[in-house]
């Protein structure tokens, strides 16, 4: 099988890249190890930055997003039973975010790819990327019980942290930067309308809590729990009781309860692999970087990566210059490190570290008070949350 761009992974990054390339008249093949049902049900991110939403619209994938997505013009910070709203448009010149689940983004892009795009092979397990330094790299994969080869001009690894793409980068060239946090998120989906119309980020002496949503009828909520916690260790009633404690305010706000339909624990880590390019292999999304979910950056960073690649390949076709392809890693990493910084700041701002001293507690509260009382600090948070510019 022959194509211009071989894409490993049919998450939002790989699917969006295929769409961007199709719109630019560049052919591609997408290999996805799981079946379609799994991809369309895989629960991940739920916040789309302003730039991500704009890219999806421009790519022709925004119709249902704009009809069903929930525009949010701010978030609420809670600490010491106080409530402070961060107004995004007022601090960013009009930017906002959309609550629209990754599962829905994937459904939209899959439907478009199968209708209008190039081959999208489900159940196609990528085994190795070979010849990345040559003019004709290839992807060895297994599909429908037999091994095959995808012959490409370029390979883009959108296959996540555990995928094969990054393994093709020689160990001697790889640099890894990472941090593991001593806590995780216990997350639930519940069939109950959200108790607030915007996301609520709560800092409490017992730990962090987040009130989010998937739709007007489905709530998504999280609790900070010790690293290694099993989801089944918490009964549903215990989770609701703890959420009520951590969201407590000084007014008459109430947390509405409902049936819990799923529970899971998300570990917290920061990870960056440099470089993001090796020869004609390009890494995108979780294959190259991971952020703790506090800053809502994971999916949005992946979108930035594939937009950068697609624009660079278009530039090559238009001008004959590979300059933008050559600077892919450097360009992406500037944005990646800003997102890592923002996600780290949000995580350390809102989570109480095990064994934190009274001094550290006071510093944390002083940082929150600064956001609540300083236009400059609030603007910095709003700009980071709504998204850094796509270069």
Per the residue annotation, which of 196, 204, 297, 351 is the catalytic one?
297
Per the residue annotation, which of 137, 194, 292, 293 is the catalytic one?
293
* Residue 293 annotated among the catalytic residues of the structure: yes
Contact predicate 148/1, CB 8 Å: yes
* Residue 38 annotated among the catalytic residues of the structure: no
* Residue 297 annotated among the catalytic residues of the structure: yes
Alpha helix (H) ranges present in the chain?
A: 12-23, 36-41, 50-58, 63-68, 88-92, 102-116, 236-247, 298-319, 323-326, 328-350, 358-373, 375-386
Give the separation between CA 187 and CA 267, rounded to whole angstroms: 11
* Residue 194 annotated among the catalytic residues of the structure: no
Give the separation between CA 291 and CA 338, rounded to whole angstroms: 11
Residue position matching structure tokens 């009130």:
211
Token pair belonging to 113: 């790819």
C-alpha distances (whole Å) from 233 to each of 115, 186, 210, 230, 264 are 44, 10, 19, 5, 11
* Residue 328 annotated among the catalytic residues of the structure: no
Of 391, 289, 303, 382, nearest to 74 (Cα)?
Answer: 382
Per the residue annotation, which of 72, 263, 273, 351 is the catalytic one?
72
Q: Which residues pair with 272 in a beta bridge?
A: 177, 289
Per the residue annotation, which of 100, 181, 201, 278 is the catalytic one?
201
Per the residue annotation, which of 222, 278, 328, 385 is the catalytic one?
385
Note if the bond before 275 is cis, omega within 30 degrees. yes
Q: Which residues are catalytic?
A: 72, 201, 293, 297, 385
């Amino acid at each position: 099988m022959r194509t211009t761009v071989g894409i490993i992974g049919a998450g939002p990054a790989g699917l969006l890249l295929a769409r961007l390339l199709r719109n630019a008249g560049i052919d591609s093949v997408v290999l996805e190890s799981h079946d379609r049902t799994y991809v369309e049900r895989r629960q991940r991110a739920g916040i789309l930055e302003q730039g991500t939403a704009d890219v999806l619209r421009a790519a022709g994938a925004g119709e249902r997003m704009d009809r069903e997505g929930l525009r949010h013009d701010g978030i609420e910070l809670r600490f010491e039973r106080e409530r402070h709203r961060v107004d995004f448009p007022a601090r960013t010149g009009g930017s906002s975010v959309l609550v629209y689940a990754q599962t829905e983004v994937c459904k939209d892009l899959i439907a478009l790819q199968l209708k209008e795009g190039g081959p999208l092979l489900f159940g196609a397990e990528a085994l190795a990327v070979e010849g990345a330094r040559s003019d004709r790299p290839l992807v060895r994969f297994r599909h429908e019980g037999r091994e095959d080869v995808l012959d490409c001009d370029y390979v883009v690894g959108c296959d996540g942290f555990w995928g094969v793409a990054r393994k093709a980068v020689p160990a001697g060239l790889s640099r890894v930067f990472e941090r593991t946090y001593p806590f995780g998120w216990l997350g639930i989906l519940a069939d109950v309308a959200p108790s607030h119309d915007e996301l609520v980020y709560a800092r409490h002496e017992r730990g962090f809590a987040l009130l989010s949503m998937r739709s007007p009828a489905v709530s998504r909520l999280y609790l900070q729990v010790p690293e290694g916690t099993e989801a089944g260790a918490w009964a549903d009633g215990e989770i609701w009781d703890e959420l009520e404690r951590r969201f407590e305010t000084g007014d008459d706000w109430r947390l509405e309860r409902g049936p819990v339909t799923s529970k899971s624990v998300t570990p917290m880590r920061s990870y960056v692999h440099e470089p993001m390019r090796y020869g004609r292999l390009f890494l995108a999304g979780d294959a190259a970087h991971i952020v703790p979910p506090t800053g809502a950056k994971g999916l949005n960073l992946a979108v930035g990566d594939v937009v950068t690649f697609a624009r660079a390949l278009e530039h090559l076709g238009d001008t004959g210059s590979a300059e933008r392809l050559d600077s892919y890693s450097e360009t992406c990493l500037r944005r990646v490190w800003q997102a890592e910084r923002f996600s780290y700041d949000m995580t350390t701002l809102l989570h109480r570290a095990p064994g934190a001293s009274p001094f550290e507690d006071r510093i944390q509260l002083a940082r929150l008070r600064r956001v609540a009382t300083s236009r400059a600090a609030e603007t910095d948070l709003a700009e980071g949350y709504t998204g850094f510019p796509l270069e």
